[in-house]
Amino acid sequence: MILMSPPCQPFTRIGLQGDVTDPRTNSFLHILDILPRLQKLPKYILLENVKGFEVSSTRDLLIQTIGNCGFQYQEFLLSPTSLGIPNSRLRYFLIAKLQSVPFPFQAPGQVLMEFPQTESEHPQKHAIDAEKKIEEKKIEPNICSDSSTQCSGKEAILFKLETAGEIDRKRQQDSDLSVPMLRDFLEDDVDMNSYFLPPKSLLRYALLLDIVKPTSRRSTCFTKGYGRYLEGTGSVLQTTEDVQVENIYRSLTNLSQEEKITRLLMLQLRFFTPKEIANLLGFPPEFGFPEKTTVKQRYRLLGNSLNVHVVAQLIKILCE
């Protein structure tokens, strides 16, 4: 079995998207070069990468190589939310098996958006339904085409630069009783003082924060910049349950900076601890870091990690 996660930088949407011309792809291209020349091919292959890999030239070369070697394969774009885990972490996966018979759920040329449900389910319908579901959940940018015109409907900005559509989506996620609350993944009896957001950061990034509560059933993807940067690196936790986020943000208008900070501090926002993120990623309770590693290093490692449950489910499907 070959398990691999090639460098993702050449394929990220916010990067240069160098693809096969990026030197960081060379190690993976080398594997593709030697794979057909192996005396004994691996029976199984599982590959992970970022969303964007599925439209790359490197992916095309991978598909061509494993096809020539006699592998049956299926591609996925999966998030832990598909398994009822309250954390979004969309990633590209490919499973391949050295066999002549296709997978029961195999959908040639399609990227499945969910785990296979049943062998009798038509794979094409499954993929189309999933794509339709994703489309329905997409939110338009929080920008009006005319700055002098107020947005309306689901695109109307209510507070904290969030549209009505975004707020409705989050409320739907939090009302899904099949997903456990975040409090099931939180640490107890740990000094959290070092994890609270600094006042200056609160003031600067207040409108960009994704705020969740222990009772929430969702959280955004945690990246390697979590704990150091606030924009787009992961959710922060509101630890006061008797204060409404909406009320705090609506009250900030026309306040001085000091008054705004005072109001925002009432939310008692903090970062998730490395252990809590590890819990959301599916690492076992006994998992820990070497004592010599810093909190920053732990965040970086977790930001580059995978969800254990997602990978385990794919390996199970692959080996059936």
Classify residue 173 as left (phi > 0), alpha (psi -120 to 50) or beta. Answer: alpha
**Lookup: tokens for 142:** 């929080």
Give the position of tokens 């489910």.
Answer: 313
Number of neighbouring beta carbons within 10 Å of residue 121:
13
Number of neighbouring beta carbons within 10 Å of residue 151:
17
Enumerate the H helices of the chain as residue ranges: 26-34, 57-68, 123-137, 164-174, 199-205, 245-250, 257-265, 274-280, 295-303, 308-319
| 79: nearest Cα among 64, 60, 92 | 92
**Lookup: tokens for 191:** 């000094």
**Lookup: tokens for 167:** 């707020």
Q: Degrees (nearest 5) of the Cα angle 56, 60, 66?
A: 140
Tell me how far apart the alpha carbons of residues 219 and 210 are, in angstroms, rounded to a whole number. Answer: 8
Residues with active-site annotation: 8
Tell me how far apart the alpha carbons of residues 34 and 299 are, in angstroms, rounded to a whole number. Answer: 35
Three-state DSSP class for residue 113: coil
Tell me how far apart the alpha carbons of residues 192 and 272 are, in angstroms, rounded to a whole number. Answer: 9
Please give the biggest Cα pair distance in the chain: 72
Q: Phi, psi at residue 291, to the nearest 5°? A: -60, -30
* DSSP structure class, residue 22: S
